[in-house]
Chain A
Amino acid sequence: MPVVKDAVCSFCGSLCDDITVTVENNKITKIENACILGHSKFVGMLEHDRIETPMIRKDGELVPVSYEEAIEAAAKILANSRRTLSYGWCSTSCETVSGAIQLAEETGSVIDSTANVCHGPTALAAQEKGSPSATLGEIKNRADVIIFWGCNPVHAHPRHMVRYSSFSKGLFTEKGRKGRKMIVVDVRKTDTAKLADSYVEIEQGSDLLLVTALRSIVNGHEDVIPETVAGVPKAEVIELAETLKNAKFVCIFFGMGVTQSRSKYKNGDAMSSLISDLNQHTKAVMIGMRGHYNVTGFGQVATWETGFPMAIDFARGYPYYNPGETGANDLLVREEPDAAIIAAADAGAHFPQKAVRHLARIPVIQIDPYPNPTTEIADVVIPAAVVGIEAEGTAYRMDAISLRMKKLIDSKFKTDEEIVKDLTAKVRELKRGA
């Protein structure tokens, strides 16, 4: 029976590339090295519901149709739309993202990724102040102080700490967990916080205050710090700043606690400045804990093809970018799009109610392997093969390292890449006809 070693797990931004998969009769029967999320991805896919056939909504109900009929119906929606939102494209390959950008350009659409509800503010912060970073290999080999700030890898990136950070053993970190100091900054004592050497509990939404106070101390202005900052006693803040200054190599991993809380991109902006300040004393870097396995890849492909990492508006015939205006949620809340294509992501589940309400009112095309809340409001549903299991392709890990995902089993479903190609060809045909 074929055993595939070093398969890449296409679930989260850790993109673990050491998965061993046993395939029998075109079915995955055994999986080794995966976490709960990866296990659910590889083995669960044979147990979960799939979207079994393309569908079109008729009289309120989704009814089965052929791929050709679904592609034609989707192409008509796109050809007739004056303002299409193309959203998602993060649980898929870079090759598909490239095709999706071409389709967006062809249809004058706005294309945005799941970063809109995830690390979009991190991209803005990087544009404001830069993003001093490193590969996860550097962290594994060098970091003696690791902070998890507003993120909970025990739940969201379960193997991160073992493979790349707190528990990993590397070239200059051979003692592993014993040789590293692990600090968690969060608003509640998470399962990650329970594993930390030190847990700093802050008042929700006050990250910017604490980062600013740390900067002041690192820059020698301890005297300006009030008795408590963000709910944290001054002595504790000073201790944290000293730990950072005296480290050999600091990495701050940060998550949605930083990007979604008050001050949003200004939190990442300030953190970047803190990293810069720390580099006057030691070495320090920051890495965003990316969620979808290829949201980083979307940013890479979009940046090299259009100059911008997300929220790219092609309405003017050239790429235009202003996330507070062209971001998926801003567009929907302003009720601007008259059609949407949602692929490899689930806006129905992950957008606030006002945005979903508008999506429910306009024609929605969904491309996905699995039924989800977006299916409930979609008008054309096109099932896809699962990338990383039924289709190969390239993805970028959270530290922007590209990895090649393997095809492990055959599938009766078209790949995202093929669907986008077919859709683009059909749209061109309709437009030429017009």
Chain B
Amino acid sequence: MKIKVNLISGRTADQGAHLEAKTHKGYFDACAYCELSPADFERLGASEGSSLKVTTEFGDVVVFAKANEGNPDGLAFIPMGPWANAVLSPDTHGCGMPGFKGVPAEIEVTDEKPLDMKSLMKKYREA
């Protein structure tokens, strides 16, 4: 089952508290997840901590699932960081700013596990 969502990214206190500790597991826990509304969780058949594959026209990334009652249905949130940036839009619309919010994405449950920070970045060196 795949669902279509509108993907945004942003800051969280945990992500911020690990901004200078990005090699720690705490940073991975703070950033490698995707928040969805409880109804979207149900539509996906996901449970807290399931792996989700998030795909956009710019790439795909595997992150953990989190439910957030504050999210309206159809809106997905990934904290800012390298996991979010694997799938966000590089297009700046000619004003310098990439598309960090409002990217159409597809989400499905997967058996794959999210990559840790170093493994994720290693893919860029090998590309």
A residues contacting B by CB (< 8 A) are 11-12, 36-37, 39-41, 44-45, 47-49, 60, 116-117, 120-121, 124, 152, 154-156, 158, 187-190, 193-194, 201, 204-205, 256-257, 259-262, 264-265, 291, 310-311, 323-324, 327-330, 333, 346, 348-357, 359-360, 369-373, 376-377
Considering the complex, give the chain B residue whose CB is closest to the CB of A48: B21
Contact partner, A44, options B20, B59, B87, Cβ 8 Å: B20
Contact of B97 with A259 in the complex, beta carbons under 8 Å? yes
Q: A49-B24, A260-B100 are in contact. Are A330 and B121 (CB under 8 A)?
A: no
Contact partner, A329, options B22, B69, B92, B117, Cβ 8 Å: B92
Contact of B23 with A49 in the complex, beta carbons under 8 Å? yes
B66-79 interface code vs A (CB 8 A; 1 in, 0 out): 00111110010100
Indicate whether B44 reaches chain A with its CB closer than 8 angstroms: no
- Enumerate 23 A-B pairs (CB-CB under 8 Å) in ascending A order: A36-B17, A37-B13, A41-B20, A48-B21, A49-B23, A116-B96, A117-B100, A124-B96, A154-B13, A194-B70, A204-B8, A204-B102, A256-B101, A349-B81, A350-B80, A350-B85, A352-B90, A353-B58, A353-B90, A356-B85, A371-B23, A373-B82, A376-B125
Contact of B95 with A124 in the complex, beta carbons under 8 Å? yes
Known: A121-B95, A256-B10. 17 other contacts (CB 8 A): A48-B24, A120-B96, A156-B16, A187-B8, A205-B6, A260-B101, A264-B93, A324-B94, A327-B92, A352-B58, A352-B88, A352-B98, A353-B90, A355-B90, A371-B23, A376-B118, A376-B125
Contacting residues, chain A, for B124 (C-beta < 8 A): 353, 356-357, 359-360, 376-377
Q: In whole angstroms, what is the CA distance A349 to B120 when docked?
A: 10
Contacting residues, chain B, for A310 (C-beta < 8 A): 96
B2-50 interface with A by 8 A CB criterion: 6, 8, 10-13, 16-24
Contacting residues, chain B, for A360 (C-beta < 8 A): 124-125, 127
Q: In whole angstroms, what is the CA distance A380 to B76 when docked?
A: 37
Contact of B20 with A354 in the complex, beta carbons under 8 Å? no
B residues contacting A by CB (< 8 A) are 6, 8, 10-13, 16-24, 58-59, 68-72, 75, 77, 80-82, 85-102, 117-118, 120-122, 124-125, 127
Contact of A350 with B81 in the complex, beta carbons under 8 Å? yes
Q: A154-B13, A348-B82, A370-B22 are in contact. Are A204 and B95 (CB under 8 A)?
A: no
B100 CB → nearest A CB, Å: 4
Contacting residues, chain A, for B98 (C-beta < 8 A): 117, 329, 351-352, 355
Considering the complex, give the chain B residue whose CB is closest to the CB of A352: B90
A149 CB → nearest B CB, Å: 14
Considering the complex, give the chain A residue whose CB is closest to the CB of B72: A188
